[in-house]
């Protein structure tokens, strides 16, 4: 494990240098909030953010992505045949990603990189990406990362972890990929003894987390009992079935495939989709297996907190970033729902007297 100390001037110079060989993404203030965007020449990532409004998933998994192009022009020899557009495999660097969001990539990878099938779009983008994390010294009151399998200094999924020390950063190089980025940026000053700063920082930051979920009993629940529990109507009542929670979430991966044609040129594309939308599961016949609002709300929470837990044995499909908690327009709170699910005991079967 290598530790470096870089001044903020070196940081800025290094970031600029990186742009020669990397597509560099960083938090940028847009109107009222931050988002990860590609950084132009001369533009620095703005580390005054707490976290971005949208998760950084779009850096690897854009909201709309072209899978294939084709022509419907029958005079062309290859008409109606799908062609993969060239993929931009330029290395990417995400600067300042929070540890929770980096951890999320690892959970999403379970979906897109399976023994049977690999999603080449997601995977090639992910593999081209170096994640430079910024440790959370001041976690927010809605953050519950430490009980969602992550933490303010969590290194899982990161290639480099930065710790802000006022006039300089301490840098922990975690992977070979991280090492390459650090060299490309020209950051060199070794910092012996920095390990302690990270260990101490992690402990101090974890102490500041005030929000928690209990998920320990979820794996032991019987799926159908949880599914049929009576609490779902109350949980779902206020939901308006918008896509805010799913679109802001770093671990939500569901998508739609759509064809769009202009004239004779067409594309097949992948767009983010949401289990909140009735159209998501609507059959051609009009039948909808999740036709009611409660069905859809239940699907979202059951997927994250039960199905995922059972399928992969890697904990819950949530990293505790708190975005859905803060931005749900009607204040549906996954922490509350997780608690209800975790504590649920099936109603005892009543015997007729």
Partner 1 sequence: MENPYYPYPVRIASTVIETEDRNLKTFKFEFLDPADEEKFSYMPGQFAELSVTGKGEIPIGIASSPTEKGFLMFTVNKVGVVSSALHNMVEGDIMGVRGPMGNWYPWEKLQGKNVVIIGGGFAFTTLRSSIVYMLHPDNRKKFGDIHVVYGARSPGMLLYRDELAEWERRDDINMHITVDRADDPDWKYNVGFVPSITEKNAPKADNDTYAIVCGPPIMIKFTQPVLEKLGYAHDHIIMSLENRMKCGIGMCGRCNIGMEFVCKDGPVFTLEELNRTPREY
Partner 2 sequence: MTEYTQKIREIAKKLLSEGKVDVVIGFREGTVPLMAEPCLVSDPAGVDQLVFNSFCGVNLANYLPRRKDRIAVVAKGCDSRNMAQHIAENQINRDQLVIIGAPCTRMMDRRKVAAAVDGKDITSVAEADGRLTVTGPGFEKVLDRESVLQDNCAICVHVNPVLSDEMLADPLPEQEKDRYTDIREVEAMTPGERYAHFEELLSGCIRCYACRNACPLCYCPTCFVDESKPQWVGKSIDPTDTLTFHFLRAFHCAGRCTDCGACERACPVGINVRQFTKKLEKDCKELFDWEAGMSPDVRPPLDTFRPDDPGKFIK
* Residues contributing to the site for partner 2 (CB under 8 A): 30-33, 35, 50, 53-54, 63-64, 138, 140-142, 208, 210, 234, 237-238, 240-244, 246-248, 256, 258, 260, 269, 271-272, 274, 277-279, 325-327, 329-333, 335-336
Residue 86 CB, shortest distance to partner 1, in Å, is 13
Q: Which stretch binds partner 1 (CB under 8 A): 56-64, 146-154, 255-263, 332-340?
A: 255-263
Nearer to partner 2, 258 or 264 (CB): 258
CB 195 within 8 A of CB 221: no
- Opening angle at CA 178, ends 177 and 181, nearest 5: 90
β-sheet with 168-173: strand ranges across: 2-7, 168-173, 160-164, 129-134, 92-97, 23-30, 33-38
Site mask for partner 1 (CB under 8 A), range 57-76, x = bound: ----------xx-x-x----
Q: Please tell me what DSSP assigns to residue 83.
A: B
- Asked whether position 310 contacts partner 1 by CB under 8 A, the answer is yes
Are 305 and 215 contacting, i.e. CB atoms less than 8 angstroms apart?
yes
* Cα 320–chain centre separation: 11
Q: Which one of 17, 231, 266, 326 is in contact with partner 1 (CB under 8 A)?
A: 266
* Beta-sheet pairing, 265-272 with 64-71: antiparallel
In the complex, what is the shortest distance from the CB of residue 223 to partner 1, in angstroms, rounded to a whole number?
Answer: 5
Instruction: Decide: is 124 part of the binding site for partner 1 (CB under 8 A).
Output: yes
74-113 footprint of partner 1 as x/- string (CB under 8 A): -----xxxx-x--------------------------xx-
235 binds, among partner 2, partner 1, none (CB under 5 to 8 A by kind): none
- DSSP codes of every residue in 133-145: EE--SS--TT--G
| 248 binds, options partner 1, partner 2, none, Cβ within 5 to 8 A by partner type | partner 2
Q: Give the position of tokens 């032991």.
A: 220
Q: Is the dihedral of CA 274, 276, 279, 285 positive or negative?
A: positive
Q: According to the binding rule CB under 8 A, does residue 287 interact with partner 1?
A: yes
Residue 40 or 313: the one with the smaller Cβ distance to partner 1 is 313
For partner 1, the binding residues in 197-216 under the rule CB under 8 A are none
241 binding partner (options partner 2, partner 1, none; Cβ < 5 to 8 Å by kind): partner 2
Residue 237: CA count within 13 A, CB half-sphere:
5
Q: How far apart are CA 322 and CA 329, in angstroms?
A: 14
Nearest in space to 18 (alpha carbons), one of 169, 226, 185: 185
Sole binder of partner 1 in the list 308, 317, 332, 337 (CB under 8 A): 308
Which class for 107: exposed (0-12), middle (13-18), buried (19 or more C-beta within 10 A)? Answer: buried
> Given the rule CB under 8 A, which residues bind partner 1?
67-68, 70, 72, 79-82, 84, 111-112, 114, 116-120, 123-124, 223-224, 227, 253-259, 261, 266, 268, 273, 275, 280-285, 287, 289-290, 295, 299, 302-303, 306-308, 310-311
């Amino acid at each position: 494990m290598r530790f470096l100390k870089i001044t903020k001037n070196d940081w800025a110079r290094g970031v600029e240098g990186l742009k020669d060989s990397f597509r560099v993404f960083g938090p940028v203030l847009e109107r009222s909030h931050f988002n990860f965007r590609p950084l132009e020449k001369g533009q620095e990532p703005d580390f005054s953010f707490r976290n971005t409004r949208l998760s950084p998933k779009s850096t690897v998994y854009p909201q709309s992505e072209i899978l294939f192009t084709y022509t419907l022009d029958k005079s062309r020899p290859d008409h109606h045949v799908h062609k993969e557009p060239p993929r931009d495999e330029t290395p990417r660097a995400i600067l300042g990603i929070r540890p929770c969001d980096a951890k999320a990539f690892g959970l999403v990878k379970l979906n897109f990189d399976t023994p049977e099938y690999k999603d080449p779009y997601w995977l090639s983008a992910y593999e081209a990406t170096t994640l430079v994390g910024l440790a959370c010294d001041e976690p927010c009151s809605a953050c519950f990362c430490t009980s969602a399998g992550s933490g303010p200094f969590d290194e899982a999924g990161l290639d480099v972890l930065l710790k802000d020390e006022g006039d300089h950063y301490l840098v922990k190089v975690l992977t070979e990929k991280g090492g390459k980025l650090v060299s490309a940026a020209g950051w060199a000053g070794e910092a012996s003894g920095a390990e302690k700063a990270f260990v101490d920082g992690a402990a101090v930051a974890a102490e500041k987390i005030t929000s928690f979920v209990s998920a320990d009993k979820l794996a032991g629940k019987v799926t159908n009992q949880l599914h049929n529990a009576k609490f779902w109507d109350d949980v779902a009542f206020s939901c308006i079935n918008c896509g805010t929670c799913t679109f802001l979430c770093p671990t939500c991966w569901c998508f739609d495939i759509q064809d769009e044609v202009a004239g004779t040129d067409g594309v097949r594309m992948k767009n983010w989709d949401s289990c909140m939308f009735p159209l998501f599961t609507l059959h051609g016949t009009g039948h909808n297996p999740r036709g009611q609002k409660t069905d859809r709300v239940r699907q979202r929470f059951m997927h994250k907190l039960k199905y995922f837990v059972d399928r992969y044995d890697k904990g819950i499909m949530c990293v505790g970033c708190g975005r859905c908690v803060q931005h749900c327009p009607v204040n549906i709170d996954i922490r509350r729902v997780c608690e209800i699910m975790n504590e649920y005991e099936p109603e005892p079967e009543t015997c007729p007297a």
